[in-house]
Amino acid sequence: TLAESGLLRLVVAYASSLCVLSHRLEAYATWWFRMFLLVASIVACLLVWACLHDLQTREIPDWISVLIGVVAVVSSLLGWLGISIVWVLAGGVVGLAIAYALFRFAKLGGGDGKLIIAIAMLVGPVGILIVLFGMAIAGGVLSLIAMLRGQSDYAYVPAITAGFVGYVGFVHFLV
């Protein structure tokens, strides 16, 4: 379908950007940036799994959100994330506020909200704003596609994934 082919293109684009990044890493990368890419790759794989599950069943397994949260805490404690545990927890609180507002007023699903909280823990309170910007753009495109197809409900995890991939690209641009 159209959504699955778009998701496949997203995964291919992400994988090819990682290949390009690996060549650039030889020239200037730091240990931190390599660990950040490792964590981002693990989380991207989990988000792709969540996308596929959301597209098929309109549900997101809780273990994916929990695992992303655990990855955020552990990688922060090991110094791989680039932000301290305080910022991870602050990101979780900001993510909770955003997810609650979207759940309460925008009718976003509970699984989507839990995924936003987990990603907010991973990227911190400032990073989640960048992720939300990408999510809003991708969500608008998904909404237009759903309207053209006559659907009133659509999977939102692809938009969340696109926001995270956009964040990773933005961080790469800064580094």
Mean of pLDDT over the chain: 83
Tokens for 161, please give them.
Answer: 């994934």
**Per-residue CA distances from 67 to 61, 119, 133 (Å):** 10, 11, 24
Q: Which DSSP letter does residue 149 get? A: T
Share of the chain above pLDDT 90, in %: 45
One DSSP character per residue, 69-114 reads HHHHHHHHHTT-SSS-HHHHHHHHHHHHHHHHHHHHHS---HHHHH
What digits encode the pLDDT tens for the residues 17-73? 655 555 555 544 577 777 878 888 899 999 999 999 988 888 899 999 999 999 999
Contact in structure between 84 and 33 (CB atoms under 8 Å) = no
Q: What is the dihedral sign for C-alpha 61, 2, 146, 120?
A: positive
What is residue 11's predicted lDDT score, i.e. its pLDDT?
A: 59
What is residue 172's predicted lDDT score, i.e. its pLDDT?
A: 65
What is residue 106's predicted lDDT score, i.e. its pLDDT?
A: 81
**pLDDT grade for 133, boundaries at 50, 70 and 90:** very high
Nearest CA among 91, 85, 169 for reference residue 123 = 91
